[in-house]
Amino acid sequence: MADLLSLSSFLFSIITFFFFYFLSVHGDNSTQSSITQINYDLYHSSRNLMDEIKEMVHRHSDRLSMEKVKAGNKGYSAEIAVVTYCKGKKDSAENPKLRILLSFGQHGRELITSELAFRIMSILSEEKHLPGMDEASLNSILDKVVIKVVPMENINGRKLVEGGDLCERRNGRGVDLNRNWSVDWGKKEKDYDPYEENPGIAPFSEPESQIMRKLAVSFEPHIWVNVHSGMEALFMPYDHKNTTPDGLPLQQMKSLLEEVNQLHCQKRCMIGSGGGSVGYFAHGTATDFMYDVVRVPMAFTFEIYGDVTAPSSDCFKMFNPTDLASYNSVLDDWSAAFFTIFKLGPHQLGEIQSKASVVKLDKLVSIDEYLDGYLMERRNRYGKKMEVLELGMQEIRAYYRLFLLSSVLLLCMFCSRISKTKCSRPIVSAISL
């Protein structure tokens, strides 16, 4: 009888084990099936996208060029591809052009933004055409601009998403690149999420941010747009506070965004400062740095898509269209919006610059940022021949710092000597002996 009870207990344990094992596997599969996966029939993989961009640049070398910029810090490295569009004569003092800098894919999970970058470059190369846009008018617009496109700023984070972490927005070592810039860096709101908004150990601790800062300082864009997804919005500075720039810059930026909203967003896009419109403040963002430090006259953040019905766990669906019709609609509408900016930007910018106020000293770019940007620009033009100059400039920078330090020490010694001289001077009595 005892043996029979033991056998029954053993069989019950086995059955219970397999029952719960089945439930766990079934539950995992059910959860997994409810989460939208990347549809590679619609979306490029990161590798395929960059390969196609490279081939496009090769086919249209008369107007497109591409360079890859690398940087590293404490064992972590990153590489960013920068595509430049310039048709006809190059930008110069005799032939000034509107300089535009566009960044896509700063957050890994926002795949649709890099697809938009590819669509814009396809139109610039004339491999695709904008519906309803007169070709002669388009060519007239593009003759007056130089456009630098960063199609995938955060390629390391993008690879994590492609590996299955569909909610990842940070870079390859867990830092949010849109919190790693120096303006109001490191401040944390009450609802701060360390997973989502890790700002890094210091401003520009991340190679991706370092590369973008050097690019901005060297290129000196008139217009900057940082492209994201998660909602539909057209934001201007500031992200870290509930205010917008004063005076004419505000009027001109708002006027341009209202035109884009009416023509391409059917007035459904939110317009205003990032900090005042979203419902939370973002500290250490790229757009605030571009406006406050690099002094880009017109600096924007665009949010091009968001599915408010998607659950928070279904990140791919929340940040990216999942059907062909929605995918094409987003790319058609927003590529047209960018060409409207290319068209209207010079007029709006002209009014700002004609009434520009005196530059404030507290917003000037530091010598380190300027030299970093200068070296990058020279390297773009002259390639490896500039390695010697770069080393020389690094030495000049080091000697400059030593000179400042020596000057301060000499001044301190001089003041100390004067003080000792005064103290040791004999006291002469006022009474004659």
Residue 430: pLDDT over 60: no
pLDDT value for 406? 75
Please give the single-letter amino acid code of residue 118.
F
Contact between 288 and 241 under an 8 Å Cβ cutoff? The reply is: no
3-state secondary structure 237-260: CCCCCCCCCCHHHHHHHHHHHHHH
More confident residue, 178 or 10: 178
- Least confident stretch, 105-119, 207-221, 373-387, 406-420: 373-387
Categorize the per-residue pLDDT at 389 as very low, low, confident or very high, splitting at 50, 70 and 90: very low
More confident residue, 150 or 24: 150
CA 239, CA 103: separation in Å to the nearest integer? 17
Strand order in the sheet with 270-273: 64-73, 76-86, 145-150, 98-103, 223-228, 298-305, 231-236, 270-273
Categorize the per-residue pLDDT at 307 as very low, low, confident or very high, splitting at 50, 70 and 90: very high
Contact between 80 and 211 under an 8 Å Cβ cutoff? The reply is: yes
Categorize the per-residue pLDDT at 87 as very low, low, confident or very high, splitting at 50, 70 and 90: confident
What digits encode the pLDDT tens for the residues 141-191?
899 899 999 999 999 999 999 999 999 999 999 999 999 999 999 998 888
CA 237, CA 253: separation in Å to the nearest integer? 10
pTM of the model: 0.78
Categorize the per-residue pLDDT at 4 as very low, low, confident or very high, splitting at 50, 70 and 90: very low
What digits encode the pLDDT tens for the residues 315-328?
999 999 999 999 99
